[in-house]
Amino acid sequence: MRHSSIPNLLSFGLALFLAAVFFGSVSLGQISTDDAAEDDTAIPFALPQSGPFKPADIQIDNDKAISDWFRSAHANAAAEAFSHWDDDGEVRAACATCHSGEGFRDFHGLDGTEVGVVNGTIDTGGVVDCGTCHNAGLANVTEVTLPSGVVHPVTGVEASCLTCHQGRSAGATVVKATADMAVDEPNSDLRFINPHYATAAATWLGGYGQAGYHYDGKDYSGRFFHARPVASCNSCHEPHTLEIAFEPCLTCHQADSPRDIRISRQSYDGTGNTSVGIRSDIANNAARLLDMIRQYTAEVAGVPTIYDGTRYPYFFKDANGDGAIDMEDGSPVAYGAWTPRSLRAAFNWKLVTADPGNYAHNPHYALELLYDSMADLSGPLGIDMEDLGLLR
Question: Would you say 212 and 220 are in contact if contact means Cβ atoms under 8 Å apart?
Answer: yes
Q: If you average pLDDT over residues 247-251, what whole number do you get?
A: 88
Q: Could you read off the pLDDT of 61-76 as tens digits, one per residue?
A: 788 999 999 999 999 9
Q: In this structure, are 50 and 69 located in the same domain?
A: no
68 and 54 part of one domain? no
- Kindly state whether residue 53 falls inside one of the protein's structural domains: yes
Out of 47-56, 174-183, 193-202, 335-344, least confident range: 47-56
- 392/265 same-domain check: yes
Give a yes or no: residue 310 inside a domain. no
Decide if 98 contacts 197 (C-beta within 8 A): no
Domain for residue 133, yes or no? yes
The pLDDT value given to residue 61: 75
Query: What pLDDT does residue 60 have?
Result: 72
> Is the separation of the CB atoms in 281 and 260 below 8 Å?
no
Residues in contact with 237: Cβ distance below 8 Å, sequence separation at least 6, in sequence order: 243, 244, 245
**Angle CA(76)–CA(314)–CA(186) in degrees, nearest 5?**
150
Please give the residue range of the domain that contains residue 187. 166-302+337-392
In a domain, 122, yes or no: yes
Q: CB within 8 A of 174, min separation 6: which ones?
A: 193, 213, 343, 344, 347
Per-residue pLDDT at 42: 59
Q: Are 323 and 305 in contact (CB under 8 A)?
A: no
> What is the reported pLDDT for 38?
52
Question: Do 75 and 119 fall into the same domain?
Answer: yes
Same domain as 280, residue 226: yes
Q: What is the mean pLDDT of residues 265-288?
A: 97
**What pLDDT was estimated at residue 63?**
85
The confidence score (pLDDT) of residue 18 equals 46
- Percentage, residues of the chain above pLDDT 90: 78
Confidence (pLDDT) at 364: 97
pLDDT above 80 (res 5): no
Same domain flag for 342 and 367 = yes
Domain boundary residue among 123, 140, 157? 140
Write the CA distances from 312 to 25, 82, 301, 309, 330, integer angstroms: 68, 17, 21, 7, 15
**In contact, 134 and 104? CB cutoff 8 Å:** no
* Residue-level pLDDT at 164: 96
| Residue 325 counted as domain residue | no
Q: Is pLDDT of 101 > 60?
A: yes
**Same domain flag for 241 and 172:** yes
Kindly state whether residue 371 falls inside one of the protein's structural domains.
yes
Average pLDDT score over residue span 370-374: 98
Residues 337-364: tens digit of each pLDDT: 999 999 999 999 999 999 999 999 999 9
DSSP state of 52: -
- Residues 135-162: pLDDT tens digits? 999 999 999 999 999 999 999 899 999 9
Average of pLDDT values for 48-62? Answer: 69
For residue 54, what pLDDT is reported? 73
Total domains present in the chain = 3
Are residues 15 and 73 both part of a single domain? no
Same domain, 75 and 120: yes
pLDDT band at 30 (very low <50, low <70, confident <90, very high): very low
Instruction: Decide if 31 is inside a domain.
Output: yes
Whether the predicted pLDDT of 26 surpasses 80: no
Q: Are strands 305-307 and 315-317 parallel, antiparallel or unpaired?
A: antiparallel
Mean pLDDT for 363-369 is 98
In the prediction, which pLDDT does 217 show? Answer: 96
Give a yes or no: residue 152 inside a domain.
no
**Same domain flag for 173 and 194:** yes
Report the distance separating Cα 289 and Cα 309, nearest Å.
15
What mean pLDDT, rounded, does the chain reach?
89
* pLDDT reading at 45 higher than 70: no
Question: Confidence class of residue 229 from pLDDT cuts 50, 70 and 90?
Answer: confident
Q: Rounded to 5 degrees, what are φ and ψ at 152?
A: -105, 130
Question: Is pLDDT at 220 greater than 60 in this prediction?
Answer: yes
- Identify whether residues 94 and 136 lie together within a single domain: yes
The average pLDDT across 304-312 equals 96
Beta bridge partners of 143: 153
Return d(Cα 110, Cα 140) in angstroms, integer.
Answer: 9
Question: Does residue 11 carry a pLDDT above 80?
Answer: no
Answer yes or no: is pLDDT of 59 > 80.
no
The secondary structure of 130-183 as a DSSP string is HHHHH-GGGGG--EEE-TTS-EEE--TTHHHHHHHSS-S--HHHHHHHHTT--T
pLDDT of residue 27 exceeding 90, the answer is no
| Dist. CA 98–CA 81, nearest whole Å | 9
Does residue 259 share a domain with residue 391?
yes
pTM of the predicted structure, to 2 decimals: 0.83
Of the three residues 140, 156, 183, the one that is the final residue of a domain is 140
> Quick one: pLDDT at residue 49?
60
Using pLDDT thresholds of 50, 70 and 90, give the confidence band for residue 120: confident
Q: How far apart are CA 46 and CA 331, in angstroms?
A: 65
Question: Which of 15 and 59 is assigned the larger pLDDT?
Answer: 59
State mean pLDDT over 14-33.
44
